[in-house]
Amino acid sequence: MSNFWKQISRPIIALAPMEDVTDTVFRELIRSVSDPEVLNVLFTEFTSTDGLCNEIGRKNVSSRLVVSDSEREWLTITNTRLVAQIWGSDPDKFRKSAQLISEMGQFDGIDINMGCPVKKVVKNKSCSALINYPELAREIIVATKEGTKLPVSVKTRLGFNEVITEKWIGNLLDESPAAITIHGRTQKMQSQGEAMWDEIGKAVQLKKERKSETLILGNGDVDSYAVALQHIADFGVDGVMVGTGVFKNPWMFNKSLSEISMKMRIDLLTKHIKLYDLTWGKTQNYNVLKRFFKIYLNGFQGAAHWRDQLMHTKSCDEALEVIYRIS
């Protein structure tokens, strides 16, 4: 199977994997309002290898790897690539998970989470904790590659308690992943402070010195397409991954829009609610949907009132009733 990272058009602009955010519904929604030539890589929510390798656990985590028929249609039409992200600490479970994901036939690549800073996963030697266990990190990359013919990439940070860019990224480059996405902060920083793009630039230089074919993507504090392009120009990365910046403007991957009207915001929110209900029904917690209300309902008079009304709803039907009543 071919490595799409080598074939994809540049610049590479990716939507980051985000917990309780980048499910099949949100991915389809963002894809539907983006220019095909701008946003070209999407990631799933991060999925536990422990869960995937356990029959009972698999049922609990399987929703994270759902690709709806309507999303698949969008992906095909726009030639957008979809990558499944996994996390854990056991190389053997990474191997088995990679095999399972490959057999699904839904994904173009597999990404290893070595960047999430949440304490409950870090204490289990997972995600950003792997920065402190470089040999284990390499074993995980090797095992994942053994389980799949899909390209294997890594998302990580600059260090754990301190910045160790060259040492840590050099360790990952030793195993030649298809791509490395670097969040410009340490684990200790969480999401605080300014992303250190100069350090990401050092990783690019290291890659060049080694004549490595691994792509380097940067992540952190990117809240517009213009900023993404500027970082690519300034720091020489192969692409940029956008995370929470999309919350400020879901249309940020659409170059042709100069203004976002109140009607556009309400229409997209309505579409999100309907698609969420159609896709998940009663199988997912409705309250997860509430975190998106502020994304759409801001920047116009009365937005706070709309949000307050919607935050008190208990179902998709109730939310749609509120929207129809107020509008």
* Catalytic residue annotation: 116
Angle at 107 between CA 168 and CA 128, to 5 degrees: 25
Tell which residue, 108, 260, 238, 264, has the closest CA to residue 180. 238
| Residues ≥6 apart with Cβ < 8 Å to 40 | 8, 9, 12, 13, 14, 79, 80, 81
The secondary structure of the chain, three-state, reads CCCHHHHCCCCEEEECCCCCCCCHHHHHHHHHCCCCCCCCEEEEEEEEHHHHCCHHHHHHHHHHHCCCHHHHHHHHHHCCEEEEEEECCCHHHHHHHHHHHHHHCCCCEEEEEECCCCHHHHCCCCHHHHHHCHHHHHHHHHHHHHCCCCCEEEEEECCCCCCCHHHHHHHHHCCCCCEEEEECCCCCCCCCCCCCHHHHHHHHHHHHHCCCCCEEEEECCCCCHHHHHHHHHHHCCCEEEECCHHHHCCCCCCCCCCCCCHHHHHHHHHHHHHHHHHHHCCCCCHHHHHHHHHHHCCCCCCHHHHHHHHHCCCCHHHHHHHHHHHC
